[in-house]
Amino acid sequence: MNRRLALEFARVTEAAALAAARWMGRGNKNAADEAATEAMRAMFDSIHMDGTVVIGEGEMDEAPMLYIGERVGTGEEPQLDIAVDPLEGTNLVAKGLAGSIAVMAIADRGCLLHAPDMYMDKIVVGPRAAGRISLDAPVEDNLRNVADALGKDVEDLTVVILDRPRHQALIHSVRAAGARIHLIGDGDVAPAVATAFPDSGIDIMMGIGGAPEGVIAAAAIRCLGGEMQGRLWPENEQEEARCRTMGLDDPRKLLTMDDLVQGHGVVFAATGITDGSLLKGVKFTAEGAHTHTLVIRGRTGTVRFINALHRLDKKPFFGLGRQGCTNPEFEA
């Protein structure tokens, strides 16, 4: 996967972010997600690759596009697996809250875990704390080891956790150990990736979130030299059976980086929709629309932050044109 393709993927997440941003604060999360999905799918048609969606909007009978197994791109080499979340944080966009992104991970064929749509228990740290965490260790031990690796006191650590009832025991343990907690309402991909950036203010992410989002985050963490461990969290026999049909004989197996993402032919791309700890959101001005995108190449370790200005174009905007809205589309 070459440098040119990595930048092409930035155009894909930019298109999705621009489309979703038009719905920011309008209270309609489904419309925002549909707009982002439609824009991302359309942009894929211009990418010279033979891509297969392995993590997407659902099964073929659940999603009209970007469904699992869908072929995207022009059909040319290289053959790639694609994991997408056109709008991570649908509630965040609908309510105008911080932290939503359009995101995707790309890897050589067969190198991404085909994670079923269920929960995953996760722990994520950046490169300085890699090798110092274990999902099976007590919370206090993980915090002490990470603090030691970062040259901090435990009291100075910031832990990101989804604000959910299922995390009450985890929250209690983190506070008892003395660390600080940043609770988030939705969207754990960006905070997971932020652990690898010292100036993000996030040291570690813990807790149970979406398994597909876990694989996407793991792609970025692998590129950046950090560490993530996960364990699927099936809630019933049907979900356990689904794990096995997808090749996971032990649904409760501890998943390491090599289980989640293999090899170095990995690219991660994300564009901010609303402002967050990692990326700025889309800003509409008289000049056009400003986007902030992160692109990471695993093979070289290159990290690019791209500030782009998208000029006005008079075509209907993705997701709004069908409703007779005259809002312009910005060329991605």
C-alpha neighbours within 13 Å on the C-beta side of residue 64 = 7
Cα–Cα dist 6/118, whole Å: 29
- Tell me the pTM: 0.91
Q: Check the annotation: does 213 bind a ligand.
A: yes
Q: Check the annotation: does 322 bind a ligand.
A: no
- Is 61 domain-assigned? yes
- Is 319 domain-assigned? no
Q: Check the annotation: does 288 bind a ligand.
A: no
pLDDT-derived band at 325 (thresholds 50, 70, 90) equals: very low
Same domain for 135 and 249, yes or no, is yes
What are the pLDDT digits (tens) for 71-87?
A: 999 999 999 999 999 99
Q: What is the DSSP string of 188-202?
A: -HHHHHHTT-GGGS-
Does 2 score more than 80 pLDDT?
no
Q: Check the annotation: does 138 bind a ligand.
A: no
Q: Quick one: tokens of 255?
A: 């998943």
Q: How far is CA 189 from CA 209, 219, 284, in A?
A: 9, 10, 24
Cα–Cα dist 15/317, whole Å: 10
Domain assignment of residue 82, given as a range: 4-112+266-311
Domain of 271: which CATH number?
3.30.540.10
> Number of structural domains, the chain?
2
Q: Check the annotation: does 61 bind a ligand.
A: no
Same domain for 197 and 133, yes or no, is yes
Q: Check the annotation: does 166 bind a ligand.
A: yes
Same domain for 138 and 46, yes or no, is no
Whether residue 83 contacts residue 58, with contact meaning beta carbons closer than 8 Å, is answered with no
Q: Check the annotation: does 99 bind a ligand.
A: no
What per-residue confidence (pLDDT) applies to 1? 59
Q: Check the annotation: does 27 bind a ligand.
A: no
Same domain for 170 and 295, yes or no, is no
Burial of residue 165 (CB within 10 Å: 0-12, 13-18, 19+) is exposed
- Is 323 domain-assigned? no
Strand residues in the chain grouped as ranges (E): 50-55, 71-72, 79-88, 101-108, 119-125, 158-162, 180-184, 204-210, 227-233, 266-272, 283-284, 289-297, 303-310, 312-316, 328-330
Domain of 249: which CATH number?
3.40.190.90
Same domain for 92 and 123, yes or no, is no
Q: Check the annotation: does 41 bind a ligand.
A: no
Same domain for 163 and 86, yes or no, is no
Same domain for 24 and 97, yes or no, is yes
Whether residue 101 contacts residue 17, with contact meaning beta carbons closer than 8 Å, is answered with yes
Does 266 score more than 80 pLDDT?
yes
